[in-house]
């Protein structure tokens, strides 16, 4: 069996530029990139790439030139060949990681189809038949909707300052038995000092984890937060390969690693990350905040086969077309997804639906309001800021009740 071609399928997700954006639409900048590895025996494999999909498409086309004529079943060797081929361009970031991931994912899909086995069975079998998920809420109403759908875990995310009183209100809404998480990602990122103050306030809300409290480049700042705050920490969605996740694990900076299933480097890399984390008693909760539906299938196969899987991020209701671009579509039951049993990944592209949404833009401009920045500074579009009005903004109003 030989690889004959790699085809890409790039699409826009959500509102088009100039159309008012809905919650979760990334202000009209979101793209999904799927691919299909074709072989001379008619077996095809499906994959998905994230990180910067519109740019990654060109990386996939470049890598295809060295893969044609190769046996797709030699997954690890071909991954190494691609990795070495990209090193002349510098350290492998999310663009390179995304390209490697989508192609490697498709190779696993091919192997499973050839052998008539789901990918999880090729990885050593299952620990579990279903994978618990958590949803996103920016209001108590949304949190209640998730609870009513059977979810038992909710994450509230912020660009800019963390609204501690909103987090507390959501905790009150979902009750003490549900899990609550806070994502403090930028823009603009907090300084370590501010992240520590916020983290100390969050201690009383019994979080499952406090995610990305500081910018991902600054691991020393993450260490400062780790040493000062008694809340489990999570990070890692922006790194690729075991080399990128290594310092988070070896320095014990986090309790949860969150590799992105579309740009971590591939299924094998994800399992290696999980094994590294396992040796430090760290759990795995893959990032899925910007992904399309194919990478979700890959995440289920990986999480079924590792002992330290925590739960999967799920943006299930982000865009009404999600269930139309693949077959079958995933659907959660009581806040969990069933691990597929079909050969390979268990999913195929619906190409005619994908073609309806051509890519138009894949970068997010500065936020439309001052909400992500200190008042009056949105035009500066800075990467990080100290929070002002600290006495009211970095503390729960109900402290001391």
SS3 per-residue string spanning 196-208: HHHHHHHHHHCCC
Query: For residue 161, what pLDDT band results from cuts at 50, 70 and 90?
Result: confident
pLDDT digits (tens, 9 = 90+) for 270-283: 999 999 999 999 99
Q: Looking at the structure, do residues 178 and 231 belong to the same domain, yes or no?
A: yes
Q: Is the pLDDT of residue 23 over 60?
A: no
Query: For residue 24, what pLDDT band results from cuts at 50, 70 and 90?
Result: very low
Measure the CA–CA gap between 307 and 311, rounded to whole angstroms. 12
- 362, part of any domain: no
Could you identify the residue written with the tokens 């900048």?
Answer: 29
Q: Looking at the structure, do residues 109 and 144 belong to the same domain, yes or no?
A: no
- Identify which of 125, 3, 133 has the alpha carbon closest to the alpha carbon of residue 60: 3
Q: Is the pLDDT of residue 375 over 90?
A: no
Q: Looking at the structure, do residues 284 and 169 belong to the same domain, yes or no?
A: yes
pLDDT digits (tens, 9 = 90+) for 100-146: 999 999 999 999 999 999 999 999 999 999 999 999 999 999 999 99
DSSP 3-state of 340: coil
Q: Residue 90: which residues within 8 A CB-CB, separation 6 or more?
A: none
Q: Count of H helices and E strands in the chain?
A: 13, 16
pLDDT score at 369? 62
Higher pLDDT, 14 or 352: 352
Q: Looking at the structure, do residues 67 and 163 belong to the same domain, yes or no?
A: no
Q: Looking at the structure, do residues 113 and 148 belong to the same domain, yes or no?
A: no
CATH number of the domain bearing residue 225: 3.20.20.120
pLDDT score at 15? 60
- 364, part of any domain: no
Q: For this structure, is 185 an active site residue?
A: yes
Q: Looking at the structure, do residues 47 and 159 belong to the same domain, yes or no?
A: no
* Average pLDDT rounded to a whole number, residues 244-255: 98
Rounded to 10 degrees, the C-alpha dihedral 293/294/299/304 comes to 100
* DSSP type of residue 159: S
pLDDT score at 165? 96
Q: Which domain holds residue 136?
A: 121-344
- Identify which of 299, 300, 293, 284 has the alpha carbon closest to the alpha carbon of residue 339: 300
* Average pLDDT rounded to a whole number, residues 295-321: 93
Q: Looking at the structure, do residues 236 and 333 belong to the same domain, yes or no?
A: yes
The tally of domains found in the chain comes to 2
Q: Looking at the structure, do residues 198 and 308 belong to the same domain, yes or no?
A: yes
- 214, part of any domain: yes
- 164, part of any domain: yes
Q: Residue 161: which residues within 8 A CB-CB, separation 6 or more?
A: 190, 387, 393, 394
- 287, part of any domain: yes
pLDDT digits (tens, 9 = 90+) for 26-46: 567 899 999 999 999 999 999
Q: Is 212 exposed, middle or buried (0-12, 13-18, 19+ CB in 10 A)?
A: buried
Measure the CA–CA gap between 364 and 375, rounded to whole angstroms. 20
Query: Domain boundary at 118, 144, 164, which?
Result: 118
Evaluate whether 173 touches 141 at the Cβ level (below 8 Å): no
pLDDT score at 280? 98
pLDDT score at 159? 84
Q: Is the pLDDT of residue 352 over 80?
A: yes
pLDDT score at 20? 54
- 381, part of any domain: no
Average pLDDT, the chain: 93
Q: Is the peptide bond before 188 cis (omega within 30 degrees of 0)?
A: yes
Does the pTM surpass 0.85? The reply is yes
pLDDT score at 126? 97
pLDDT digits (tens, 9 = 90+) for 37-78: 999 999 999 999 999 999 999 999 999 999 999 999 999 999
pLDDT score at 146? 95
pLDDT score at 319? 82
* Average pLDDT rounded to a whole number, residues 285-294: 92
Q: Looking at the structure, do residues 97 and 169 belong to the same domain, yes or no?
A: no
Q: Looking at the structure, do residues 265 and 300 belong to the same domain, yes or no?
A: yes
Q: Is the pLDDT of residue 400 over 50?
A: no
Evaluate whether 304 touches 127 at the Cβ level (below 8 Å): yes
Q: DSSP of 271-295, one letter per residue? A: HHHHHHHHTTT-EE--B-SS--HHH
Which of 89, 136, 185, 301 is labelled catalytic? 185
Query: For residue 370, what pLDDT band results from cuts at 50, 70 and 90?
Result: low
Q: For this structure, is 136 an active site residue?
A: no
pLDDT digits (tens, 9 = 90+) for 340-349: 999 999 999 9
Q: Looking at the structure, do residues 79 and 129 belong to the same domain, yes or no?
A: no
Which of 89, 136, 280, 287 is labelled catalytic? 287
Q: Looking at the structure, do residues 106 and 129 belong to the same domain, yes or no?
A: no
In percent, the amount of the chain with pLDDT more than 70 equals 95
**Bridge partner residues of 33 (DSSP):** 10, 49
CATH number of the domain bearing residue 76: 3.30.390.10
- Identify which of 32, 63, 68, 87 has the alpha carbon closest to the alpha carbon of residue 241: 87
Query: Domain boundary at 344, 374, 394, which?
Result: 344
- 386, part of any domain: no
* Average pLDDT rounded to a whole number, residues 152-168: 93
């Amino acid at each position: 069996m030989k690889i004959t071609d790699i085809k890409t399928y790039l699409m826009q997700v959500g509102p088009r530029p100039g159309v008012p954006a809905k919650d979760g639409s990334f202000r009209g900048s979101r793209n999904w990139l799927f691919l299909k590895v074709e072989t001379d025996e008619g077996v095809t494999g499906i994959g998905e790439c994230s990180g910067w999909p519109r740019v990654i498409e060109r990386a996939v086309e470049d890598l295809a030139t060295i893969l044609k004529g190769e046996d797709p079943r030699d997954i690890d060797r071909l991954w190494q060949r691609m990795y070495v081929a990209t090193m002349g361009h510098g350290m492998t970031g999310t663009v390179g990681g995304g390209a490697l991931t989508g192609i490697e994912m498709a190779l696993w899909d091919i192997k499973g189809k050839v052998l008539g086995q789901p990918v999880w069975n090729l990885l050593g079998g299952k620990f579990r038949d279903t994978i618990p998920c958590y949803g996103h809420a920016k209001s108590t109403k949304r949190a209640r909707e998730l609870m009513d759908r059977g979810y038992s875990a909710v994450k509230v995310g912020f660009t800019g300052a963390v609204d501690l009183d909103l987090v507390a209100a959501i905790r009150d809404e979902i009750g003490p038995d549900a899990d609550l998480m806070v994502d403090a990602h930028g823009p603009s990122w907090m300084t370590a000092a501010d992240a520590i103050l916020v983290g100390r306030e969050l201690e009383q809300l019994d979080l499952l984890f406090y995610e990305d409290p500081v910018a991902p480049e600054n691991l020393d700042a993450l260490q400062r937060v780790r040493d000062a705050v008694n809340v489990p920490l999570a990070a890692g969605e922006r790194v690729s390969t075991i080399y990128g996740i290594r310092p988070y694990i070896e320095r014990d900076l986090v309790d949860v690693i969150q590799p992105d299933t579309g740009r971590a480097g591939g299924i094998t890399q994800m399992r290696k990350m999980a094994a590294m984390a396992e040796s430090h008693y760290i759990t795995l909760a893959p990032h899925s905040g910007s992904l399309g539906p194919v990478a979700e299938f890959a995440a289920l196969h990986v999480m079924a086969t590792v002992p330290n899987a925590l739960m999967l991020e799920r943006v299930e209701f982000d865009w009404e077309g999600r269930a139309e671009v693949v077959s079958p579509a995933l659907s959660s039951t009581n806040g969990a997804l069933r691990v597929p049993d079909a050969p390979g990944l268990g999913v195929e592209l619906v190409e005619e639906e994908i073609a309806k949404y051509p890519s138009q833009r894949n970068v997010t401009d500065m936020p439309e309001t001052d909400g992500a920045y200190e008042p009056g500074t949105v035009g500066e579009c800075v990467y990080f800021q100290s929070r002002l009005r600290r006495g009211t903004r970095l503390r729960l109003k109900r402290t001391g009740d």
